[in-house]
Chains A and B, each alone.
Chain A
Amino acid sequence: MSAAFSADDYINQIMRAAEAQTATSPKTEFNRRGFLKVVGLAGGGLVLAFHVGGQNLAFAQDGIKRTADEKKEFAPNAFLRVSPDGSILIYSKGPEIGQGIKTAFPLIIAEELDADWKQVKVEQAPINPAVYGRQSAGGSRSIPTSWDQLRLAGASARAMLIAAAAQEWRVPVEQIRAENSVVIHTGSGRQLTYGALANKAALQPIPDEKSLRLKDRKEYKLLGSRISGVDNRAIVTGQPLFGIDQTLPGLRYAVFEKCPAVGGKVKSANLAEIKKLPGIVDAFVLEGTGKVAEVMPGVAIIATSTWAAFQAKRALKIVWDESEASKDNWHEWIKQAEALAKQTGPETIFSAGDFTKATADAKVVEAFYRYPFVSHTPLEPQNCTAWFRDGRIELWAPTQNPEAGLAAVASTLGLPQEKITIHQTRVGGGFGRRLINDFMCEAAAIAQKVNAPIKLTWTREDDQLHDFYRVGGFHSFKGGIDKSGKLIAWADHFITFTADGQQPTSGGDLRPDEFPAQVLPHVSLTQTKLPLKTPTGPWRAPRSCSIAFAVQSFIHECAVAAGRDHLEFLLSIMGEPRWLKEGDPYALNTARAISVIKLAAEKAGWGKPLPKGRGLGLAFHFSHAGHFAQVAEVSVDTNKKLRVHKVTVAGDIGPIINLSGAENQVEGCVIDGYSTALGLELDIVNGRIQQTNFDTYPILRIPHTPEVAVHFIQSDFPPTGVGEPALPPVAPAIANAIYNATGYRVRTLPLVREGFTV
């Protein structure tokens, strides 16, 4: 089995890099990685003094060009500067993909800086991981990995401003407090603005990180409130924020046609004909690097406008060599999986106790679940602008992962990273798709062959055909219920896929600690891996986004079989309140689970009388360090017409940074989760994805949007991300509600496959 077209190695590397920063105990988890990098007054404008653990260690460039005036500013570190006029510029280091980080990151800095938020302007930081640390958005890890770093950036600047005032007034720093960009001498009431202190502050010694006092939650003025996104005005007035909006003098427009079955190579193409079409500058074959995360073979067309390029793309006639291309077939896989359902898998993922013995005189429930492949389908199709000149390349990229993009472009072009400059643009939707930077590599490879800057734009069809899909899967469950109605045994034969014949493909791994394996005495998790060539990758809440549907639905089936109330049954599975791995935020904490389950049930009116055809459904899932429970209220008529009225969400992700942003993410997760569960499925025929635009891939529209009620338990654990963990419980909550409304058990997604309509 060839793994030639799999991006698994590449993705695993990216994911490991992200997890390495957060995988262990909260002490190292949330520690001050490679921080604090603070500037003395930058004489040359570009030189920053690195400050790590209280010592000046090194010098580096932050890549920000400064005018002579700007050099007079107080720029204590690469994250912010204060101008003499009082304006504060904060650099947001991470990609903004719709998760609100461009607002959340600066808010954290501004809170510790005691800045007047109205005077804060936010700009995207340059890509320079040596200065900024992690510059990637994935795994809901932006907040946990940057929390301390950003707080210290703000607090150190505040300390320097206060020190400057102390010097000015000849009073001890203890007598000075800061508030809304002003420092105040407590005794005399004297005040100085941050702007007035900017010059002096820049001359202060760099504070020792250990001397900095970070605020207590009670002291927060900004964090936890509702703050409107920093780009909102630019968004609603149509400013050129996104990758696709970038332009350069003399820009050429590029498209790139690849084989619709991954792995096909160009045998021949009607290039001469294409070159004669109006507005076409050039057309050529790119052999590519053969790596699906970089550049696969195809035909590039360069034109004087996007439309000319799109038109020429339609006129392309390419003969593909498909000898090594994917022949994958979704419906074949379904048949194979159904045939395997009765067996246990040949490989053991996890086992505990003795499933066979334990179920000898238990009631055994069995069920087979399936969910499909889906695409990310961000509304902004993949695109990238690139300019290759004088042996250097500059890219303007809507990427979730510029850090990895740098390496991928370097590998594609065989260019050292110093010769690559990446500008981060706003990103029109990520969902995991843009962790992989194939579109950047393609733009780079094309730009290298064109004597002008180029903008590569994928059509919607390209975007659907060349994704790293959320992998489909199958679960054959057995649950054992003892005489007292207790769930004592759990078996899951997981049927998944492998690209390399060894490891499960990206997003298709069932982990040994998948709930409820860790909390039950007798467990058998086994797997079968079917070979595939279709590239897969992380999709919003990888693994969890699909597995939770099967697991949380089957738990409900077990509750029904046990004759017990689902809420009470689920709580009893959680057992005693405990943290399964003390100190590890990525380990289930049943106390937090119990709290969110109870809260969701209470807020949704669990147990309230409902008319016939109407039901409440409950589900819980823990992922990405977030504990989330949801209750869906649905009604279903006799024609299987479904209405999801309301989804009540209770979540615990620690303290909330920006309440508006967090609620928006949860609403988005619910709508995305419902949209996907309701109608989205990719059919793969002979290696080709069949759903190439929104007419056949029906993303949920506004008329079917449920009401969403969001309740956060703001516990004192360190804050964690919210872009993903609110999604997994949606599908099972709806499926369980459908059962409670109708007695019909949904075991296949999407719901339209089960005959439901809206």
Chain B
Amino acid sequence: MQLTINGQQHTVPDSEGSTPLLWVLRDHLGLVGAKYGCGVAQCGACTVHVNGSPVRSCVTPASAVVGQQVTTIEGLAASVGKTDGRLHALQEAWIEHDVAQCGYCQAGQIMSAAALLKNNPKPTDADIDNALAGNLCRCGTYIRIRKAIHAAAARLNERAAS
């Protein structure tokens, strides 16, 4: 089975077809940015993009993404053309706003936010609430998550305008 993850081809044994993408990423491919939090699509810690849309990798069988473009937090910056250590605007905003507490949920939060901004460059608080309602943060960093998304959106819009 061939999987395309962050633009790279990976060969995974066919026997792993029913294994959730999350565990293929973490145990087989060593990409541990997507996290295990619940295993039942309740917490969003495992969020990755499939063809640009956010999916919960803990309930997505690996076989379902054959031939699709999978992006994880490790490849997010590159997916928007940021290479050589440069970051996605959301990642920059997350650092500047010091969003994380324990940090465990944050990869999933950022992936959900990135999918939101792609379709909605100027989200309102309500848009953010809708797009991120599936991402739990046990530490309660929601206030900063909202701020960071607004800040990243503003920066992206500025860049687009200039």
On A, residues with C-beta under 8 Å from B are: 97-100, 226-229, 231-233, 235-242, 244-245, 247, 253, 278, 305-307, 310, 377-381, 426-431, 457, 459-460, 660-661, 664-665, 667-672, 675, 693-695, 699-703, 705, 707-708
Contacts and interface: CB of A to CB of B under 8 A. Distances in A.
A380 B144 contact: no
20 contacts: A97-B102, A226-B98, A231-B100, A232-B94, A233-B87, A233-B95, A237-B74, A237-B87, A253-B27, A377-B138, A379-B104, A380-B35, A426-B102, A664-B144, A694-B136, A695-B40, A699-B138, A701-B133, A703-B129, A708-B143
Contacts of A278: 15
A473 to B, nearest CB: 23
A229 B100 contact: yes
A227 B73 CA distance: 24
B94 A378 contact: no
A379 B138 CA distance: 6
Contacts of A672: 138-140
Interface in B72-92: 72-74, 77, 87, 90-91
Given A238-B32, A702-B146, A705-B143, A305 B101 contact: no
B20 A699 contact: no
Given A98-B100, A379-B104, A694-B38, 8 more contacts: A231-B103, A237-B73, A306-B26, A380-B35, A667-B141, A702-B129, A702-B142, A705-B140
Contacts of A429: 102, 104, 138-139
B136 to A, nearest CB: 5
A671 B137 CA distance: 10
Nearest to B88: A236
B138 A305 contact: no
Contacts of B139: 98, 379, 429, 668, 672
B27 A380 contact: no
A707 B143 contact: yes
Interface string B54-83: 000000000000000000111001000000
Interface of B: 15, 19-20, 23, 26-28, 30-40, 42-43, 45, 72-74, 77, 87, 90-91, 94-96, 98-107, 110, 128-130, 132-146
Contacts of B23: 305-307
Most buried by A among B20, B35, B106, B140: B140
A172 to B, nearest CB: 42
A664 B94 CA distance: 13
A703 B143 CA distance: 10
Nearest to B22: A307
Given A235-B103, A378-B138, A379-B104, A702 B132 contact: yes
A700 to B, nearest CB: 7
Contact of A228 (B96, B105, B134): B96
Nearest to B100: A235
Contact of A232 (B27, B98, B130): B98
Q: A interface, by DSSP: helix, strand, loop or mixed?
A: loop
A232 B104 contact: no
Contacts of B15: 278
Given A238-B32, A306-B23, A671-B142, A98 B101 contact: yes
A393 B111 CA distance: 37
A681 B135 CA distance: 21
Contacts, number: 188
A241 B103 contact: yes
A379 B137 contact: yes
A331 B4 CA distance: 52
Contact of B77 (A237, A379, A427, A694): A237
B98 A238 contact: no
Contacts of B20: 307
Contacts of A231: 100, 103
Contacts of B99: 232
Nearest to A661: B98
A700 B133 CA distance: 10
A238 B104 contact: no
A381 B27 contact: no
A97 B106 CA distance: 14
A550 B127 CA distance: 37
Contact of B35 (A244, A427, A695, A699): A244
Contact of B95 (A226, A236, A694): A236
Given A305-B19, A675-B140, A702-B146, A460 B103 contact: no
B103 A668 contact: no
Contacts of B27: 253, 305-307
Nearest to A707: B143
Contact of B74 (A238, A667, A668, A703): A238
CB-CB nearest 7 A-B residue pairs: A238-B33, A671-B140, A98-B102, A428-B104, A238-B73, A98-B101, A235-B103
A460 B35 CA distance: 12
B87 A244 contact: no
Nearest to B32: A245
A667 B144 CA distance: 9
A240 B94 contact: no
A53 B37 CA distance: 48
Contacts of A237: 33, 73-74, 77, 87, 91
A705 B28 CA distance: 37
Contact of A660 (B73, B94, B98): B98
B107 to A, nearest CB: 5
B138 to A, nearest CB: 4
Contacts of B96: 228
B58 to A, nearest CB: 10
A660 to B, nearest CB: 4
A667 B100 CA distance: 12
Contact of B37 (A226, A227, A379): A379
B110 to A, nearest CB: 6
Contact of A693 (B38, B135, B137): B38
Given A379-B102, A661-B98, A238 B31 contact: yes
A62 B96 CA distance: 34
B101 A668 contact: yes
A703 B132 CA distance: 8
A241 to B, nearest CB: 7
Given A427-B102, A702-B132, A667 B140 contact: yes
Contacts of B136: 379, 694, 699, 701
B138 A664 contact: no
